Structure 1
């Protein structure tokens, strides 16, 4: 078993035994039968295939949906997984599916299918791997003398991870136990984390005291667009909110920056101010990528929550070429790439241009195949955002980049 963490990404990779046997030497062996992991993390599902030695595998894919007898939906072509899946294989007939930025709707049974060069010879591994995606939630249990906080999930996390408890963003307990007990009343906020993924934050006073809930923990959006970062909050009865401020958390030794309405002509505050607030930023740049938080002042006190806010990532579009080195007569695949998975555009439509003219509109971010006979200048954009500003020019072997996304030129 291997667990690896990158930032707030939890990767679960398991080696246990779950075998699906076929007849006449055909089989799919999955590394595990079930996995429970966290929303926002990354997971690897793996299997090993067996087939007659005189066959050669031509096509492999993972799937969760089957609409008809031979109508399987390759995860690569499923818009719900766009830009979030990757296939890998090795020389020992091992095959790995990687899914990033997991959502709760990704919970499903994942199966592997392969097709050989012999007519009609194909095989699917049933049953597959059951993936359950859950979110960390803090549940509060109060007695007359203490309050117990429990880091809860809807299924038992695979790998028995260690839970870490934070009080005002400082670690107060790191142990295998998902529970933490407080024996005193306090205005501090608490939250838990497992392998880099944070839960919601609570006060031991419950919702009768100050509490902020951010609508989104992370947002990925395009350079040049606008974004709404929102939250709701509660506070003790008898208080009246008199002032709201959004700010970016300071980076390294930098001080926090207050984003007052009208700041730089790009910031606006929306909402009723008494229970919810929205920070709208227009004409986004990559420098706007940061963690955004709120603090407010009532007629009795000033309160600044210490738990995580909303992390905004602003990305541009780039055309990537596979393989990277293009030779004459070789087919390549073009990918309309971003540095993160767009979260504010549901099922985006990608527009491909050749020599400045629209050639394709599709929900697929791939243009494939492109050959030397299709020589021209290629670029891409997202429908509704065709007029984004010029991105940084890049230069690769046989490749030239420019607007509206970097442009690929085959000579």
Structure 2
């Protein structure tokens, strides 16, 4: 028997007992020497991003001089390159030893693809061994957040649990820290309980193991279904609203699921009426807004959970003067000498700031102010008048008003009364004269006695004419020689009551 060949065969024979790599060397009668590799852990669970130490102890005959130690992975490919030379582990692995019989593989910044089996091998001058046997299996796990129930409605109880796919070898019962949108919350154990959950609880949550606060789990979004709330209506405008400009109304509401239809309402006659029902856009656009669009508005936002409405907003459309007009007071015929006021009125927003008065065929304005007062009007004021109304938006002229001033005349009633009085006076005077002549004619054809008797016997003789009759009789009784003398006699008229009221003739003299 060739003992040397037998010895080499046995030298490379490896027996695995209880996870220990053993090498038995038999050299004839020299007895048996044992070499083995013992791993500290058969499996390790480590946190993604952390650092892990994989260690082992090995033995060999004292006369073996160990020249090299190394660690390997990727056994399934049959490639056994040293990890320190593997580009995937570059700058992330280191070998450490405390004695000549131990070795530790340190891997930093663990990644999930680092999950595999790791084995140790050492070399001596005449042999190398250890890599063909079971090593240490590494599992790299990340933290995960689980939400229960998966679909959450406002008011329910919700539980958020933080965990790993395997039990951490170095920390089997970890304490967890919770974060919402990156902000740390009060420490909880494995679970974060929200009871009852509200819309404010919705958001992104993550967790970390205490002591590894910089190693967060991926964020898990907590979705809470709720009806619309905080609905707001707004106007997109950098300056005041001017008639003819484009104005956009926007309705915003916080809701889940989101609002997909909006309705706008306008206050008309004390009641709100919809004018844009079920609009799929959150905006309503007035492409050329008008003064008639002035008023109060609000929007309504519904979803499957409920409906909410905004507060009212006011649209105040500014516009220039509209339909200026001129009115006159008092109304009716305008007579010379009377007082007249012309007033200019116009609808405008903001209100008219300046009124200016013009008269046709007069180049310059005649007055400023809303009212044009004429205290004593004359015919020269007749003509066409109009006003100009102006605010900061625009100006507008009124239509012309024709002013006609009538000449002042005596009223028909006064003229009629005057004519009647004059006619009556003339009639009375004429009647009196006729009566006087008749009386004088009767006196000349009768005797003095008859006259005296008539005078004494009748009370209808008027003393008004006594001096006249006496004068005529004296003239008739004079001798002819005395006719050359001229005598002047004054005749006094006695006025009766009726004559005093209607006719008062002047004093007369007879020659």
TM-score calculated relative to the size of structure 2: 0.37
Q: Which has the higher contact order (CA 8 A, sep 6+)?
A: 1
Greater radius of gyration (CA): 2
Greater share of strand = 1
TM-score calculated relative to the size of structure 1: 0.45
